[in-house]
Chains A and B, each alone.
Chain A
Amino acid sequence: QQPVQSPQAVILREGEDAVINCSSSKALYSVHWYRQKHGEAPVFLMILLKGGEQKGHDKISASFNEKKQQSSLYLTASQLSYSGTYFCGTDRNKFYFGSGTKLNVKP
Chain B
Amino acid sequence: DTGVSQDPRHKITKRGQNVTFRCDPISEHNRLYWYRQTLGQGPEFLTYFQNEAQLEKSRLLSDRFSAERPKGSFSTLEIQRTEQGDSAMYLCASSLAGTSVTDTQYFGPGTRLTVL
Number of A-B contacts (CB under 8 A): 53
Interface size on A, residues (CB 8 A): 22
Minimum CB–CB distance from B102 to chain A (whole Å) comes to 4
Per-position 1/0 for B44-70, Cβ under 8 A of A: 110010000001101000000000000
Contact check, B33 vs A95: say whether CB atoms are below 8 A apart: yes
- Chain B hits for A97, CB < 8 A: 35, 42-45
- Chain B hits for A93, CB < 8 A: 55-56, 101
Contact of A30 among B35, B41, B102, B106 (CB under 8 A): B102
Residues of B in contact with A (beta carbons under 8 Å apart):
33, 35, 40-45, 48, 55-56, 58, 91, 100-102, 104-110
Q: What 6 pairs between A and B have smallest CB-CB spacing? A: A97-B42, A41-B107, A30-B102, A87-B42, A97-B43, A100-B42
